[in-house]
Structure 1
């Protein structure tokens, strides 16, 4: 790896005697892989251990996190029992520390590592809104959240400023893992290094300020803002926090977490910058990260939803209310597969969704929703077909049949396979892990694994 000459010059000046070790870690150090277990899944620790991950070393920055590699084509990953994530990135949601019942916004959320960690913290109570401005990335985010199996999340596809009208003063906690110059990812991502320019941090800082200005309009008084980047640049870290404190009623809360370093007060202009946290490749496990935790002392007025005199165009371009007959079809299915949570049901085309508890469609009808809650399934010709998302929240009490590894391979490839019985809809359970819905008809399992997720093992 050959570091950019401008980068070398910059950090020789900033780090002084530390610079040699810093450059050595970036050029010759190894990239560490890690993963988190999913506490929302039944018997998750038992399942992960049973699949050969019992003795992996603990990762330092999060609960249920370990150092090691998990294949994206493994049953564990496909069933949402694990999420592969760079270890230092786990610190961000750990610092946010979402509590069950809180309303949380992950503003720049793709691909979903931090959102899935927040869902674990919320434990299916409260609300998570995960937003991503780029549609393709928002769809990847939605797929990762789907596998994780939470019942209380939305995925939106907006520029941050576009969310303010629906969520002014709404959130208890907001995470802004901001787009940045990516210096911390140099040894993981060659593209980040090749795209680096001497003015990259200046350009990114301007964009970060725009994003944060919108975020703060959606934060409650005494709410928590966590700001993070995966860059070393002071212009995007201590200087951004200084700008926040100087321009908004915010105070810096201390991050006192083992195996991290303090922020650098000399790189900013306000007190308490040492309360922020940094992860350095020559000092800590993982890639470069910066994290700051700030508490709002201001007061934003929470959005009050009112009916407009003008009829609003539904961005989803679809029917919203279920008919009595459609509701009955869904209810009939859920008698055998009880949810245990309630929420308003809506319908986009043939797709039926359940909003997180306490949220109404009138609150979010103006938004572009990639995932408006829990996808229940599809209504087709007077029948109801359950969704893959619904299988990902399956408790051990739902009707299920056990399948072999060979059956699982057929399933993820989208193929039918034989299994004695005639139970109709069942959860397919591989080694006690729910991996999707199948329909058992006269000894054959009809396959309903989503086409976009299928793969050959």
Structure 2
């Protein structure tokens, strides 16, 4: 494989005697991974029902390898049910090593397409708030779909310059993840097109962006909070150099140790102009040492006294439409994992949202989604949303229709077809039903006389 001479010289300096081993790994096949959505299913239960062969990724508790040359997991109904996300194995590491706890306020600064954000949201288990941002509105649309498919409702999906977010979220977040735009050297083996992109925009170009993003994020982290910075490149300017620059500008930050794995390599302080021994606590992932692509990870803590911040107060509607009231009464919110409070409902036109608690005033920010879209009120008729369906489970909503994965009506539902379900509905009442595969929700349908009118979101439907 062609590698630019300048890149080869740099890697020889970084790797020394291991350089040839690194070059040889380009001849090996790439690795494919999937990550289990622990908000919806335990790892043990997923292994039990998984329809194809998988092998554990040893440093990711809910990560598995699969044979990407033989199978297509994205074409399986379990994928549509949000039970797993397809992600390169090394790329699972940043969100895995950021210690997010339920109730945290979490920011994913460069979140599209959602590989890290979906794991951060799953870790929250419906508590706290995930703010997922991407400056590209087109990429943010794909991010929103992945987050909703994963059943994450305590979320804000934004499309803003990180610098603008500082005005609204200064000192707000407990945890921040920055998977920074980078020169992509760690992905050369996986995607040969990355080499050409590197020649057009190399490390010098991206290091300026990275320094801007990480210092802006530093302003949004509360004292005592933690920030994880990652790239998929090997360059010292983009990696140790960015962390060194942050420490120069914000001396209140310190580098934390990262839970180890035998294949991890220590960061290289010698690649930064100043001697910072703690840079050895950061992690480098090389593809000749692990079954994954190249990555860099640094975990930092912002020291200082933490003061709890409250969000802005908003007027909430007190009286709800009767049909909305009736629908909400059908849901067992505790079993859905949602601490439901009526005052957190918001209305924007016909749309009904359930908002996370303690948010600042965010007027002026570009949103793709604010909170969980519950559904729409149309002439006092309430139509529940696809996002709400993905947040629920069979225990939380009584009117469900669940079919086994090998029933052809499951795929027909995903294609948007009307279904004859008289054999499984019996005397079920007409109206909104949660349609599931093996007990895991896919979306809504409206039942009448044994026929289920398909309400699966048109933009999500499978093509024949």
TM-score using structure 2 length: 0.89
**Is residue 37–residue 45 contact of structure 1 (8 Å, CA) maintained in 2?**
no
Structure 1 unmatched ranges of 5 or more: 308-319
Aligned to 1:94: 96
Give the deviation of 1:253 after TM superposition: 0.8
Please give the residue correspondences for 1:21-100 in structure 2 after superposition, counting only pairs within 5 Å: 21-25=21-25, 27-42=26-41, 45-47=44-46, 49-53=48-52, 56-68=54-66, 69=68, 71-100=73-102
SS at match of 2:209: helix
Contact 2:393-2:440 within 8 A present in 1 as well: no
CA shift for structure 1 position 63 = 2.0
Residues 47, 433 of structure 1: 8 Å contact kept: no
1:15 CA drift (Å): 2.4
Would the alpha carbon gap of residues 201 and 336 (structure 1) be closer, same or farther in structure 2, given more than 3 Å must change? same
Residues 73-93 of structure 1 show CA distances to partners (whole Å, capped at 9, x for unaligned) of: 211110000111111111101
Alignment match of 2:228 (pick from 220, 226, 229): 226
Partner of 1:280: 286
Instruction: Note the 1:1-20 alignment, pairs <5 A.
Output: 1-20=1-20
CA contact (8 A) 2:36 2:46 kept: no
SS in 1 for 2:391: coil
Distance 1:301 1:184, change over 3 A: same
1:104 maps to what in 2? 106
Does the CA-based 8 Å contact 1:424-1:440 persist in structure 2? yes
Cα separation, 2, equivalents of 1:395 and 1:452: 22
CA distance in 2, matches of 1:303, 1:197: 45
Once the two structures are superposed, the pairs formed by residues 87-166 of structure 1 within 5 Å of their partners are 87-166=89-168
Residue 254 of structure 1, CA deviation: 1.2
Aligned length: 441
Shift of 1:198: 7.6
In 1, the alpha carbon distance for the partners of 2:46 and 2:304 equals 46
Distance 1:286 1:81, change over 3 A: same
User: Please, what TM-score do these two structures have when normalized by structure 1?
Assistant: 0.91
Task: Show the counterpart of 1:290.
Answer: 296
Partner of 1:396: 394
2:147, 2:310 → 1: CA distance? 28
Going from structure 1 to structure 2, the CA distance change for 1:62 and 1:42 (only over 3 Å counts) comes to closer
CA deviations over 1:324-351 (Å, ceiling 9, x no partner)? 353x432211111233322511223322
3-state SS in 2 of match to 1:11: helix
Query: How large is the Cα RMSD of the aligned pairs?
Result: 2.3
Q: For residues 199 and 393 of structure 1, what CA distance do their matches in structure 2 show? A: 41
- SS of the residue 1:446 aligns to: strand
- Structure 2 unaligned blocks of 5 or more: none
Q: 2: distance between equivalents of 1:385 and 1:348?
A: 15
Deviations 1:346-390 (A, max 9, x none): 22332211012x235x63333222121111111112201111111
Distance 1:304 1:126 in 2: 13
Return structure 1 stretches of 4+ with deviation > 3 angstroms: 42-45, 298-307, 320-326
CA distance in 2, matches of 1:39, 1:256: 20
Tell me the distance in 2 between the aligned counterparts of 1:304 and 1:441. 47
The separation in 1 between residues aligned to 2:39 and 2:168, in whole angstroms, is 29
Q: Distance in 1 between matches of 2:229 and 2:432?
A: 45
2:352 is paired with a residue whose SS is: strand
Q: Distance in 2 between matches of 1:47 and 1:284?
A: 25
Alpha-carbon distance between aligned partners in 1 of 2:88 and 2:100, rounded to the nearest angstrom: 20
